[in-house]
Amino acid sequence: MENTSTASASQHRKYFGTDGIRGHVGSDPLVPDFITRLGYAAGTVITHQAEHPTFVIGRDTRQSGEMLQNALTEGLLASGANVIDLGVIPTPGVAFMVNEMHAEAGVVISASHNPVNENGIKFFNQGALKLSEGIELEIESLLEKPLSLRLSQADRSTQRMDGTHLRKLYIDHLVGEHQDLKLNGIKLVVDCANGAASWYASEVFSRLGVDVVAVHASPDGTNINRDCGSEHVRQFPEDLFALIQQHRANFAVGFDGDADRVIFVDETGHLVDGDHFLAILGDYLQGQGRLLGDTVISTTMRNGALVNYFADRAINFVETPVGDKYIMGELHKLALQNHPENQIGLGGEQSGHIILMDQKHTTGDGLRSAIYLLRAFLASGRSTLAELAESIQKYPQIIASATVSQKIDLEELEDVVALRKALRDELPGLTRINLRYSGTEPMVRLMLEADTRHTEAELAEKAYALCEAVQAGTNTPAGSRLEVLNVSRGGLIPRPG
């Protein structure tokens, strides 16, 4: 289990964000010297009670991944740890291998759905869970001290081992969990984002009987998430819909760069996103008597229709702050309060990050979630995925994302405060507003949701004005990135006028 931290989690973390350490490659902190010191600090803190502990490491397809992995490994070896190199593997594959190999920790080198010039480092503890803030603070505390150990004189009884042959265990596990599932007759367009799913998705689906049309499955180190993947699908569902029509497929699925997110496009070209997943899988698992605590967990960014949907079905709904670690925290509370044998804890985010927690699975897994959705679809008896997804009618909702040069307290931006206050008068049907900075990117995000008195276009007009005020107040250059996503229907909403 994870060590008890002596650091106070209320302290401000300098390097770790909501999902590990992220940044632009070649700029602090993603430079080789820092990453080597990070490896040494993490190896020392996470597993200080074990002699020669084992770390499993995997990465996505970014060209910077191998460089960062080599630097991190040097530090881990110096700390006295052994390292198993899994090569390119989905993030959930690393979490699975921590348990499978009885490793003390795991590391993922990935920036998920973000562009290729960004990368990140994320750690799992012995239970394949993300580190607590206290442990992250201990690592940061050690990072601030000069290394007393010269890496060239590190303990050479430790070793780096090639574990790429072990990746098959992850594929076999995904297929084996659903060996009773026969998906023959389903033709599926699979967008691999030129990422980690490229070597996994086709084999997994094919072995389950799916006729696979793989696209964006030729990573070259530079094309991950470029005009493809789950985030692109959310913005431009028509791209995958065109491929559905071209190949006469049933529907399409898109993963992100590290394959922990998943989004479907149905037969009519509409999105089936994380909200739909939670509704469909909540129904399915409850019907099977396998929904842990008869409860589903999501974040403040979920569509409001979910609350009524679950209430009508006697399913409890718990809301958390944004971030999968908060969802996992609530799932663990559920597991302690209930009997989790043969039960699955269900939680997730609108973005397609779905967690199906049991004793072997502790993080979002796009491939596994996709298989479960296909299983639920077949069990529903519905003739189309579109018909199944329409069982939840979403409220008008948009999410705006805008680049910012700095993160000034939003309450100190007078124009932003005034515009936000005026929204309630200008949009009497407004039901929710959530304005916050991203925890992993230099972005501000705004979610607006209303009842049927308003349209997504009306919400978008207000979102553009409010986000432009944030950009002006944070000294962000005019014309910087600002996009508004139609969450209810998919696709981007253009700027008015």
Q: Do 479 and 407 share a structural domain?
A: yes
Its domain, for residue 324, covers: 280-363
Q: Comparing 155 with 299, which gets the higher pLDDT?
A: 299
Which residues, other chains included, contact 10 with Cβ-Cβ below 8 Å and sequence gap of 6+? none
CATH at 347: 3.40.120.10
CA 30 centroid distance within chain: 20
pLDDT in tens, 406-459: 999 999 999 999 999 999 899 999 999 999 998 778 999 999 999 989 999 999
How far apart (Å, rounded) are the C-alpha atoms in residues 397 and 400? 10
Integer Cα distance of 373 and 350 in angstroms: 15
The reply to whether 418 falls in a domain is yes
In terms of domains, do 141 and 178 share one?
no
Which percentage of the chain shows pLDDT scores above 70?
95
Is the pLDDT score of 153 beyond 50? no
Do 309 and 399 belong together in one domain?
A: no
Q: Is residue 425 part of a domain?
A: yes
* 295 and 264 inside one domain: no
- CA separation for the pair 162, 61 (Å, rounded): 17
pLDDT band for position 3 (cuts 50, 70, 90): very low
- On the question of pLDDT at 15 being above 80, the answer is yes
- Residue 11 reports pLDDT greater than 80: no
- 23 with 136, same domain: the answer is yes
Identity of the highest mean pLDDT range in 51-65, 320-334, 364-378, 479-493? 364-378
Q: Is 220 exposed, middle or buried (0-12, 13-18, 19+ CB in 10 A)?
A: exposed
Domain shared by 249 and 290, yes or no: no
Peptide bond into 29 cis (omega under 30): yes
Neighbours of 265 (CB within 10 A): 30
Asked whether residue 378 is assigned to any structural domain, the reply reads no
State how many domains the chain has: 4
- For residue 384, tell me if it sits in a domain: no
- For the segment 465-474, the average pLDDT, to the nearest whole number, is 97
- The pLDDT value recorded for residue 225 is 98
Q: Would you name the residues annotated as active-site residues?
A: 112
Residues 70 and 46 in one domain: yes
Q: What is the pLDDT of residue 9?
A: 40
> Residue 284: its pLDDT value, please?
98
Cβ-count burial of 212 within 10 angstroms (0-12 exposed, 13-18 middle, 19+ buried)? buried
Domain membership of residue 370 (yes or no) is no
Of 64, 173, 77, 167, nearest to 117 by C-alpha is 64
pLDDT at position 211, please?
98
Q: For residue 449, what is the domain's CATH number? A: 3.30.70.100
Q: How confident is the model at residue 1 (pLDDT cuts 50, 70, 90)?
A: very low
* Confidence grade of residue 49 (pLDDT, cut at 50, 70, 90): low
* Tens-digit pLDDT profile for residues 299-347: 999 999 999 999 999 999 999 998 888 999 999 999 999 887 889 999 9
Is 216 among the domain residues?
Answer: yes
Final residue of a domain: which of 212, 246, 269? Answer: 269
Q: Are strands 82-88 and 187-191 parallel, antiparallel or unpaired?
A: unpaired
383 belongs to a structural domain:
no
Predicted TM-score (pTM) of this structure: 0.91
* Confidence at residue 149, expressed as pLDDT on a 0 to 100 scale: 54
Do 300 and 224 fall into the same domain?
Answer: no
Domain boundary among 318, 339, 363: 363
Are 356 and 471 in the same domain? Answer: no
For residue 161, pLDDT over 50 is answered with yes
pLDDT of residue 7: 40
Is the domain of 142 the same as that of 24?
Answer: yes
Looking at residue 13, its pLDDT comes to: 81
Q: Does 24 share its domain with 133?
A: yes
Range with the poorest average pLDDT among 152-161, 276-285, 292-301, 471-480:
152-161
For residue 6, pLDDT beyond 60: no
Tokens of 109: 């080198």
Last residue of a domain, one of 342, 363, 384: 363
Asked whether residue 10 carries a pLDDT value surpassing 90, the answer given is: no
Q: Is 497 part of a structural domain of the chain?
A: no
- CB proximity list for 373: less than 8 A, separation 6 or greater: 262, 264, 272, 277, 280, 281
Q: Judge whether residue 472 has pLDDT over 70.
A: yes
Same domain membership, residue 208 and residue 176: yes
**Can you tell me the distance from the alpha carbon of 262 to that of 278, in angstroms, rounded to the nearest whole number?**
12
